[in-house]
Structure 1
């Protein structure tokens, strides 16, 4: 009799929760479906998601136009199995026993869609790698 493993939970964190962490969460949700729990947050959330990020994701069929930046909470970190930081440095809380990945990525803030596309593609590549590491098959795209 096989036991069903609990869904892994992943938290994406950047400073403003308006670009990189939103893209990471969007790709993980899109590719992992309900097989993974996804959160994103920022240490100093922006007013809204970067419009160039929204446009770049729309080009690959992912709609995040309704997303809003969220404040990073201690609870979000504590309830996540994997925490992926994207340029928030020392402002990201660290808890023992959590798996941390620091993805060094260019900040899409103030960039146009042409500049955001390579960041988007790199985040998608890394998310696919993370899903493979977690043993989660991706939804067929």
Structure 2
């Protein structure tokens, strides 16, 4: 890993879990970590319930857009995290691959998405403690 680790969150549609994870990592780690998110079959827009759930904790992801997963994004990342949706990242030597088993917020109401959001925060906090400990910049 370089001085500034990079993390790629991958989910099928890049509209819910991966967007929330990227937002948490950006919010909690500041500029200590380079953050990317992508999907194998990106949706048209970020899930509005995920947007609302993140807004409740003071993080605005309304301007985010789903992005397509590319080999270059994987190659440029130190850690690639799939979000329990069965996606597979291309495998490159020297990369770390994790799969976070998370419920899918698609089609769920806000009451169901809040616990997913909160679980993602805990996972992101643990990741930060491991790859980029210290105060946010």
TM-score between the two structures when normalised by the length of structure 1: 0.91
Structure 2 residue matching 1:89: 3-state secondary structure: coil
Unaligned runs of 5+ in 2: none
Q: Max radius of gyration: which structure? A: 1
User: Which of 10, 14, 29 lines up with 1:17 in the alignment?
Assistant: 14
Please name the residue that 1:79 is paired with.
Answer: 76
| CA-CA distance at 1:53 after TM superposition | 0.2
Matches within 5 A, 1:1-141: 6-139=3-136
| CA-CA distance at 1:138 after TM superposition | 4.8
Q: 1:7–1:15: structure 2 CA closer, same or farther, 3 Å change rule?
A: same
Give, in whole Å, the separation in 1 of the partners of 2:48 and 2:55.
10
Question: Is this contact kept in 2: 1:15–1:87, CA < 8 A?
Answer: no
Name which of structure 1's ranges 129-138 and 76-85 shifts more when overlaid on structure 2: 129-138
Give, in whole Å, the separation in 2 of the partners of 1:101 and 1:35.
20
Unaligned runs of 5+ in 1: none
Give, in whole Å, the separation in 2 of the partners of 1:52 and 1:90.
22
Question: Is this contact kept in 2: 1:15–1:88, CA < 8 A?
Answer: yes
